[in-house]
């Protein structure tokens, strides 16, 4: 029998999911991942790092699956949300004093040992880097960040400074610099605000105000305009509906709104894109495709332009998959003539402890090359760029001891 409608989402252990037991509801299940690829129970378990970890299992639609040669039996088509995983974790056997001494030695005297600096800092978590900075001041009476800035130059300096920035401050720091001075960097505003969860946005707003003495929302309003500004403000409210039961009538209504004329109904789209839950919007995008014969991205591309178009596309892509959106951001930062080092550093550093492992997987899947290969082929001619390339690839490869291994390079 079906569970009570609307039968939205459940949490269960991965082991329970593999056994087909979701929240105590027994039966046979058909699993798919976020790309719609079919999984068996054991494959579903591989989407999470531990059988004891809870996974979100989301009812997609009712269906059926064959059992042997007998009659078809009812089943559920379930989506197992991919567990997010960074590449940088705490270094085992960490000794902040020994690390501080290593860094002092690398910067003391004539010349700077960049290799020692990048090898050490890329293999420590952000929290450990902050402990090293405190130990450095205790041992030598010097500010580690100031010393690094005075010893390093160019892109490598920017990357090391980014790694040393406390993780809770980094997004706020990037947003402040996107709004600071003459001209606004809408690309940075769009990427960060569109791809962060409501919880992350609330934390960013709090840190921004503590650090800079002004409201992020006020600063955004002061530097942007039109529907682009309105969409940013809606997202900054961080009031997206939680994932719960999906109202099919509301899905239908929101999908139909996509058929209305852009130019007269932008506010409707802003409200829908900025406040509906992730699971609801994914269903809306599917329904819109059924109704119109177009992906919602095609309609946005056709009917809007400029900063608003880029922001709406970023929101849609992030709703579908944040790792896939950021993988695409990295790809286009390196594709073509010249590399956008700022974007490359920002994405790799900011996601290194959140979902960079997932971003790597999406990069490989969507662009038929590894992130390692693309960084290696697009960053590095002069010596400082070679250090940047090594450091970026070390950050990308940190998890599971993959540095320099065939597994990472693939």
What does the pLDDT read at residue 397? 79
| Residue 380 falls in which region: left (phi positive, over 0), alpha (psi -120 to 50) or beta | left
Kindly state whether residue 53 falls inside one of the protein's structural domains.
no
In the sheet where 73-80 sits, what is the strand order?
9-13, 54-65, 73-80, 29-32, 38-39
Last residue of a domain, one of 271, 293, 320: 320
Check whether residue 305 and residue 270 sit in a common domain: yes
Percent of the chain with pLDDT over 70: 73
CB crowding 97-129: b at 16 or more within 10 Å, else e:
eebbbbbeebbeeeebbbeebbbbbbbbbbebb
What does the pLDDT read at residue 264? 58
What does the pLDDT read at residue 54? 35
Q: How far is CA 385 from CA 84, 116, 165, 206, 388, in A?
A: 30, 16, 20, 35, 5
What does the pLDDT read at residue 339? 87
What does the pLDDT read at residue 388? 86
Measuring CA to CA, which residue among 323, 402, 407 is closest to residue 359? Answer: 323
What does the pLDDT read at residue 376? 86
Check whether residue 364 and residue 316 sit in a common domain: no
End-to-end CA separation in angstroms for the chain? 45
What does the pLDDT read at residue 389? 87
What does the pLDDT read at residue 180? 84
What does the pLDDT read at residue 73? 31
What does the pLDDT read at residue 391? 86
Bridge partner residues of 56 (DSSP)? 11
Check whether residue 343 and residue 390 sit in a common domain: yes
Check whether residue 327 and residue 304 sit in a common domain: no
Contacts of 380 (CB under 8 A, 6+ apart): 386, 388, 389
Kindly state whether residue 200 falls inside one of the protein's structural domains.
yes
Kindly state whether residue 285 falls inside one of the protein's structural domains.
yes
Q: Which residues of the chain have pLDDT under 70?
A: 1-82, 258-264, 380-386, 398-410
Range of the domain at 257: 248-320
**Count of domains for the chain:** 4
Kindly state whether residue 68 falls inside one of the protein's structural domains.
no
Reported pTM: 0.79
The CATH number of whichever domain residue 333 belongs to comes to 1.10.220.10
Angle at CA of residue 260, ends 189 and 310, nearest 5°: 20
């Amino acid at each position: 029998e079906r569970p009570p409608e609307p039968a939205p989402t459940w949490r269960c252990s991965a082991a329970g999911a593999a056994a087909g037991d979701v929240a105590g509801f027994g039966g046979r299940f058909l699993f798919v991942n976020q790309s719609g690829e079919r999984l068996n129970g054991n494959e579903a378990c591989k989407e999470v790092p531990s059988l004891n970890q809870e996974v979100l299992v989301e009812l997609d639609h009712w269906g059926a699956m064959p059992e042997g040669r007998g009659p078809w039996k009812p089943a559920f088509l379930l989506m197992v949300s991919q567990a997010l995983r960074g590449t940088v974790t705490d270094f085992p056997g960490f000794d902040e004093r020994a690390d501080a001494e290593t860094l002092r030695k690398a910067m003391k005297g004539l010349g700077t040992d960049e290799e020692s600096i990048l090898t050490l800092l890329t293999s420590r978590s952000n929290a450990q880097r902050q402990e090293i900075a405190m130990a450095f001041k205790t041992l030598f009476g010097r500010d580690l960040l100031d010393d690094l800035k005075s010893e390093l130059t160019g892109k490598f300096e920017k990357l090391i400074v980014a790694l040393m920035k406390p993780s809770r401050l980094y997004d706020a720091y990037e947003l402040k610099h996107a709004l600071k001075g003459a001209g606004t960097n809408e690309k940075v505003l769009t990427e960060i605000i569109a791809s962060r969860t409501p919880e992350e946005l609330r934390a960013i707003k709090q840190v921004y105000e503590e650090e800079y003495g002004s409201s992020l929302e006020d600063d955004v309003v002061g530097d942007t305009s039109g529907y682009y500004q309105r969409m940013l403000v809606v997202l900054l409210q961080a009031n997206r509906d939680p994932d719960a039961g999906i109202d099919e009538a509301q899905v239908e209504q929101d999908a139909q709104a996509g058929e209305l004329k852009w130019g007269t109904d932008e506010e409707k789209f802003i409200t829908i894109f900025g406040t509906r839950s992730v699971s609801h919007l994914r269903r809306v995008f599917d329904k819109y495709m059924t109704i119109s014969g177009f992906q919602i991205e095609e309609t946005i591309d056709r009917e809007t332009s400029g900063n608003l178009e880029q922001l709406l596309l970023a929101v849609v892509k992030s709703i579908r998959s944040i790792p896939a959106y950021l993988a695409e951001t990295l790809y286009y930062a390196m594709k073509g003539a010249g590399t956008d080092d700022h974007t490359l550093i920002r994405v790799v550093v900011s996601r290194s402890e959140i979902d960079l492992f997932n971003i790597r997987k999406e990069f490989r899947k969507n662009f038929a090359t590894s992130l390692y290969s693309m960084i290696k082929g697009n960053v590095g001619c002069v010596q400082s760029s070679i250090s940047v390339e090594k450091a970026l690839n070390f950050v990308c490869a940190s998890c599971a001891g993959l540095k320099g291994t065939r597994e990472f390079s693939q």
